[in-house]
Amino acid sequence: MNVNLLDLKAQNGALEPELREAFLRVLRSGHFILGPEVEKFERALAEFTGAKYALGVSSGTDAILLALMALDIGPGDEVLCPSFTFFATAGCVSRVGAKPVFVDSCPVCFNLDLRDATRRITPRTKAILPVHLFGQSADMDGVRDLASKHGLRVIEDAAQAMGATYQGKQVGTIGDFGTISFFPSKNLGALGDAGALLTNDETLFAKAKILRLHGMDPKYYHQVIGGNFRLDALQAALLAVKLPHFNGYTEGRRRNAALYTERLSKLLGVKIAQTSNCGCTQDANAKEDARLILPVACPNNGHIWNQYTLRVIGTGRRDALRAHLTARGIGAEIYYPLPLHEQACFADLGYKPDDFPWAHRLASEVISLPIYPEIPAEQIEQVCAVIAEFL
C-alpha cells in the first residue's frame, strides 16, 4: 500500500457540505474582494490566536512583506533570520531592499540560534525574523531579550506554526507582527493561496491595512506606496468553515507524532533529540552516536507538528533512506535541501557554506515523514516498519 506525504482530500472532503454552502454564499453575494466574509474570518482568527488584530492577506509570503513594509524596513537595514528555513522568510527582506543577515540553527528544535544571532548584530540591524519551523516555537524569551537590548523589531514567521504556543501564548502574537500562511499543506489550509498578519499594536495594524490596499487612504489618495495583498472573500469563507476544526487537526498531528516517536524510539540506533542540549551548545562537526534522531517538543512549547522531521546521521544516509522509502511507495520530503546562505540568489551576500555549520549540516540530514491529521495509524506503522528495515 502506498503512503502519501499528504492527502488534502481527506480533510476537505469531510467538510464538503459546509464548504459547498460557503462557496454558494460567496457566489450568490457577488462580493469577491475583502468585505464581510473577510472581516468575519479576521475576527474569528484574532479570537482563536489571542491577537488583538488579524488582517487577512493574499499569502504567507505577502504577510511577511507587508510586516516589513509596515515597519519601514528598507535599504540600509539589516534583518536577522535563519538560513535553515523556507525561502520566503529571507526573500521578503531582500524584496524591500534590506539585507538578510543569516543566523545558524539549533539542531534540536531547528530554530534560530540566539547566540549566533547576537554575534551578527550591527548598528544597521533593525529587526529579527524568527521562524517557528516545522510547527514549534523559537525561543521567544531569548528573541525578546535580544530585541529589547538592541532596539529591534520582531516579526514572527509563523507560517508553519499557527496554533503552536510558547509558554502558553500562541506564536505570532508575541512579536510586533506574526505572519501566517494558509497554503494548502499548512496546518490550516485554504483551497488556494491565503495568509494573515497578526499584531497587538493598533497603529501598526492600521498601517498594514492601508498598505494591503495600495496605500490608499482615503480611496484613490495614496500617502504611501502599498500593493495588492488582499485575501479573497472566497478563501476567507472557506477558511472560516475549517477554523473550528483546527484543534481537532492539531490533536491528530500530535497523536501521529507520538506514535512515530513511540515506534521508532524502540529501534536500535535511534534516539530522541535531547531538549537539555537546546541552546545550541552542540558542535556541528561532532560525531553522533545515533543513526536516527527523532524530533522533540521543547519544554516551553506546544508543538503543532506541521512536520515530523528526523535527522539521519552519516554521509549519504539521508538520501539512502529517502530512496528506500520512495522505492516502497512512501512519500517523504526534504525541508530543506539547501540552506538559504548557499542559494544562488543570495550569492552576492558573500557567505560561505561553513559560515552556518548547523544549517549546512541539517540540510543533508533532515527528512520529513507523512503526519497529516487523517493518516491512518496502520500507514504510520508501515512507515516505521520500512524505516526499521533500512536501519
Ligand X SMILES: *Cc1c(COP(=O)(O)O)cnc(C)c1O
Q: Which residue lies nearest ligand X, judged by its C-beta? A: 60
Measured from the CB atom, the residue of 79 and 387 that comes closer to ligand X is 79
The residue from 49, 83, 85, 105 that contacts ligand X (CB under 6 A) is 85
- Our CB check for ligand X shows the closer of 60 and 163 to be 60
Stretch of 80-88, 115-123, 344-352, 381-389 contacting ligand X, by CB under 6 A: 80-88
CB of 388 to ligand X, least distance (A): 30
Spell out the residues 6+ positions from residue 52 whose beta carbon is closer than 8 angstroms to its own. Answer: 46, 199, 200, 201, 202, 205
CB of 276 to ligand X, least distance (A): 26
Residue 179 CB, nearest approach to ligand X (Å) = 7
Rounded (to 5) percent helix, strand, coil in the chain = 40, 15, 40
Nearer to ligand X, 96 or 313 (CB): 96
Stretch that binds ligand X, among 13-21, 154-162, 203-211, 297-305 (CB under 6 A): 154-162
Q: Does 187 bind ligand X (CB under 6 A)?
A: no
Per CB under 6 A, contacts with ligand X among 112-141 are 131
Q: What are the φ/ψ torsions at residue 197 (nearest 5 degrees)?
A: -120, 135
- C-alpha distances (whole Å) from 338 to each of 81, 242, 244, 341, 369 are 15, 33, 36, 8, 18
Of 195, 192, 190, 241, the residue nearest 20 (C-alpha): 241
> Binding to ligand X by residue 172, rule CB under 6 A?
no
Instruction: Write out the H or E segment, with its range, that includes residue 336.
Output: none
For every residue of 168-233, DSSP letters joined together read: TEETTSSSSEEEEE--TTSSS--SS--EEEEES-HHHHHHHHHHHBTTBSSTT-BSS---B-BPBH
Task: Confirm if 37 and 231 have CB atoms less than 8 A apart.
Answer: no
Would residue 97 be called left, alpha or beta, if left means φ above 0 and alpha means ψ between -120 and 50 degrees? left
Q: Is 375 in the site for ligand X (CB under 6 A)?
A: no
Q: Which is nearer to ligand X, 193 or 365 (CB)?
A: 193
Return the residue matching grid coordinates 475549517. Answer: 242
164 binds ligand X (CB under 6 A): no
Of 100, 130, 142, 195, the one binding ligand X (CB under 6 A) is 195
SS3 34: coil
> Which range binds ligand X by CB under 6 A, 99-107, 108-116, 152-160, 226-234?
152-160
- Cα-Cα end-to-end distance for the chain: 21
Nearer to ligand X among residue 61 and residue 83 (C-beta): 61
Cα radius of gyration (the chain): 21
What's the Cα-to-Cα distance from 159 to each of 47, 167, 239, 357, 378, rounded to whole Å?
18, 19, 15, 25, 29
Residue of the chain from 83, 89, 111, 136 that contacts ligand X (CB under 6 A): 89
- Quick one: how many helices (H) and strands (E) in the chain? 13, 14
d(Cα 44, Cα 188) in Å, to the nearest integer? 13
Interaction of residue 83 with ligand X, rule CB under 6 A: no
Question: Does the protein bind ligand X through residue 159 (CB under 6 A)?
Answer: yes
Q: Looking at 49, 59, 83, 165, which residue binds ligand X (CB under 6 A)?
A: 59
Among 53, 183, 229, 336, binds ligand X (CB under 6 A): 183
Q: Which residue in 160, 235, 256, 309 binds ligand X (CB under 6 A)?
A: 160
Shortest distance in whole angstroms from residue 164 CB to ligand X: 12
Greatest Cα pair distance in the chain: 67
Query: Among 37, 51, 55, 60, which residue interacts with ligand X (rule: CB under 6 A)?
Result: 60
The reply on whether position 82 binds ligand X by CB under 6 A is no
Shortest CB 195 distance to ligand X, Å? 5
Binding site residues, ligand X, CB under 6 A:
59-61, 85-86, 88-89, 131, 157, 159-160, 181, 183, 193, 195
